Structure 1
Amino acid sequence: MARTKTRTKPERTETEQRSREDMPNPVWFKPVMFGFMLLGLAWIIVFYVSGSLYPIPALTNWNILVGFGIAFIGFLMTTRWR
């Protein structure tokens, strides 16, 4: 009777290069992400509390869009959070 060859799996070494997708985020990523979200929220709150005088009076109601835009950058960063 013929013997079958056994397959051996190549051993993984710890020195294997990880792909860029598998690597964890840098240390600064999470504070910047939450910072953008909080800054956008603060921008909108300041706009409403000040009676549309602040943060930039020339933008009038566009300040809301600016606040949501800043917060949206933070939310987009959550898709890359590992």
Structure 2
Amino acid sequence: MPKSKVRRKPAYTPPPQASATRTAGPSHPAYVIIMLAIGIVGLAWLVVNYLAGEDIPFMAQLGGYNFLVGFGLVVISLLMTMKWR
């Protein structure tokens, strides 16, 4: 049986890099402070809800939505960590 011909692939050449690309620098220090503050406020909201939620009028009105507010703030803080450099 005859041997099949081996096809040669051309050598890999990487795509040209754009000369105008800029690498992103570090985040502003205020970004970190805001990110941590939002996370701490969300955690504090949950703790206050557990300890004295019924005694605070506006928290008593919110009822189960207090969990949404507290966890929402914590999730926003965690999402902000993805943009932090």
| TM-score normalised by structure 1 residue count | 0.69
Q: Which residue of 2 aligns with 1:75?
A: 78
Q: Which residue of 1 aligns with 2:17?
A: none
C-alpha displacement of 1:56: 2.2
* Of 55, 59, 62, the match for 1:56: 59
| TM-score normalised by structure 2 residue count | 0.67
After the TM superposition, which of the residue ranges 36-45 and 54-63 deviates more from structure 2?
54-63
| CA distance 1:80–1:57, change in 2 (3 Å) | same
**2:53·2:60 contact (CA, 8 Å) conserved in 1?**
no
Q: How many residues align?
A: 65
The structure that has the greater radius of gyration is 2
- Give, in whole Å, the separation in 2 of the partners of 1:57 and 1:64: 12
Where structure 1 has 5 or more consecutive residues not aligned to the other structure, the ranges are 1-16
- Give, in whole Å, the separation in 1 of the partners of 2:72 and 2:41: 10
Q: Which residue of 2 aligns with 1:12?
A: none
Give 3-state SS (helix, strand or coil) of 2:70's partner: helix
- Give, in whole Å, the separation in 1 of the partners of 2:28 and 2:62: 35
**1:40·1:70 contact (CA, 8 Å) conserved in 2?**
yes
Root-mean-square deviation (CA), in Å? 1.9
Query: Could you tell me the percent identity over the aligned residues?
Result: 34
Q: Which residue of 1 aligns with 2:44?
A: 42
